[in-house]
Amino acid sequence: MKMSLIWLCRVVVTLTLALFLNACDNQKTPSKSVESLTQSTDYVFEPVVKGNKLQFPKDYGSHPEYRAEWWYFTTNLESESGKQIALQWTLFRMATGDEETKGWKTPQMYMAHAVITTKKKTWRAERFARGGIGQAGVILSPFRAWLDNWTWRSKDSSPFPGRLEFADDNMKAILDITQAGTIVLQGDNGYSRKHPLLDIASYYYSAPFLNVKGTLELDGETYRVKGQGWFDREWSSSMLSLQQQGWDWFSIHLDDGSALMVSQLREHGEKPYFFGSRSWKNGKVVKLDNHQIRMKPIKYFSVKGKQFPLIWEIEIPSQSIRIETTAVRREQWLPFIFPYWEGPIRVTGSHKGKGFMELTGYE
């Protein structure tokens, strides 16, 4: 965030979604991806406080006292014949209020996105559900995150090792996911600041070292695949200030075995605010702050009538990193209720690699 979102920011459920689920099933209300995560005084939710220690396995689960959160998974896969296939699956939870009600009146709403991408085509679907009727939710012992028949489950309280399964129209996925490195607490031990001056933050951690294997079925053709995956968890009650426009977020597996996450938050009339990290499987983590990251778009492309920066230069002098990222497929504008651009990228320069990019606030 992917407000993969990257964060509860990515990456996210909107107030518009809440209105959508409370209204007629066939009535859609236009939404803005940034509006869902800005500061709000409508309800009182728990604040994100620096110094709170994240706890596992508890924090694999849901945090209904906060306004929004997500479970976000991406992977770059390769079939036995060498076909490159990227996949994103995200489950979002959002509270429309702090009332303690159950069943159809629960304030907890869920949304899930599934996207599979090759160089020539994108398959995508989204689903919605209330959290109080068993249609969607996240539980521990054992871990299960689901919406309808889209499910990530494991045999204990951790998502890893686990199995992700979903199917919709002409796409189907069954993926086994195992952890190959440690959990990375982003920011200051999981406290991820989103503004240089204001007290706006999320709780944010990642599992950037995942081994993934399984089968995909696309338009009736089956592929056996394997590759590297990335898992993000983020929750908050406000992710952006009223002046911030959106974010540009990157998760990258570099060819030296390290993982890089960098993001910038854009604001009218101000310099972007940067944050990120570089991590290794052995548990080493280097926090990257606002002064260490340099990002700039190299080239924009028109997608669905909108201009998106799809080639970037990222420089981190302290890590001897100077790379260029390029979108594998330009037509990755996802016109969901919460719209955003997200898709796989390739990396060249001082390091080579693969990853994902998420762009929001370009509606």
Q: Which CATH number characterizes residue 44's domain?
A: 2.40.370.10
- Tell me the two tokens of residue 207: 């599992």
Residue 283 domain-assigned (yes or no): yes
Domain membership flag for residue 186: yes
Using CB atoms within 10 Å of the CB of residue 316, give its burial: 0 to 12 exposed, 13 to 18 middle, 19+ buried: buried
The torsion defined by the Cα of 93, 85, 175 and 115, in degrees rounded to 10, comes to 20
**Looking at the domain assignment, is residue 264 inside a domain?**
yes
Give CA–CA dist 163/144, Å, rounded. 10
Q: Are 334 and 113 contacting, i.e. CB atoms less than 8 angstroms apart?
A: yes
**Is the pLDDT score of 219 beyond 90?**
yes
Does residue 4 surpass a pLDDT of 80? no
- Look up the domain containing 220 and give its range: 15-359
pLDDT above 90 covers a percentage of the chain that reads 74
Give CA–CA dist 63/67, Å, rounded.
Answer: 9
**Residue 1 in domain:** no
Indicate whether 3 belongs to any domain. Answer: no
How many domains, the chain? Answer: 1
- For residue 323, being part of any structural domain is answered with yes
Q: What pLDDT score was predicted for residue 211?
A: 98
Q: Is residue 6 part of a domain?
A: no
- The string of pLDDT tens digits covering residues 244-253 is 888 999 999 9
pLDDT of residue 102: 67
Reported pTM: 0.88
